[in-house]
Amino acid sequence: MRSRVMNHNRAIPPLLLLLAAGCGYRVVRGDNPFGAEKIAVIPFAEEEPIGISGVVARELAALLARDGVHIVMSPEHADAVLSGTVLSEQTSKSPVAATGTTVPAYRIAVTVEAHLKRHNEKLWSGQANSRDSFLPARAPQSNDWDTQHAQTHTLQTDANRRQALERLAVDLAHTLHQQLVIDGELSRGGN
């Protein structure tokens, strides 16, 4: 009878971890991804300039620092270098806008690829995709559509697009970070 009680007691910690994970908590081991204590995070290359590489790099650096990794500015002082490429960006009318609604909306989809390298040896690579939507600026209600209104409309639409790209960049960084941490754990055999 005693051994059955002990077996039940062993099951309690994993159940508590699952319950805590369901509430948004996470277990941090404190290990650095692939044994790299100091990582230099380099802004990603952009095949077409869309302006998110700095945001992705900054967010990745913040997430890694929160995990206890020392972020260094110079690759020469790092154990590993995290960099990547923005592979694609597509902007299209969203499916709702394509049905002939009076308020068009646009969807942006971005794909990035990241690599963690130590002395040109690839330790890890991952890819992430994300999508977001944005609205164009509202057109003026009157028939007073002149050059100034057109420029203001274009600037506001571009500002809405930039905000969507910023949200995408943060989401992409979180996805890549999660992949990096999980793959780093798996590379150690989960111990």
pTM for this predicted structure: 0.74
User: Tens-of-pLDDT digits for all 191 residues of the chain?
Assistant: 444 444 455 555 554 444 554 554 544 445 688 999 999 999 999 988 899 999 999 999 999 999 999 999 999 999 999 999 999 999 888 766 555 555 678 899 999 999 999 998 999 999 999 999 888 776 655 555 555 555 666 788 888 889 999 999 999 999 999 999 999 988 877 55
Domain count along the chain: 1
The whole domain housing 47 covers 2-187
| DSSP secondary structure, the chain, as one string | -HHHHHHHHHHHHHHHHHHHHHTT------PPGGG-SEEEEPPPEESS--S-HHHHHHHHHHHHHHTTPEEES-GGG-SEEEEEEEEEEEEEE-HHHHTT-SS--EEEEEEEEEEEEETTEEEEEEEEEEEEEE-PPPPPSSS---HHHHHHHHHHHHHHHHHHHHHHHHHHHHHHHHHHHHHHHHHTTT-
CATH value at residue 60: 3.30.160.150
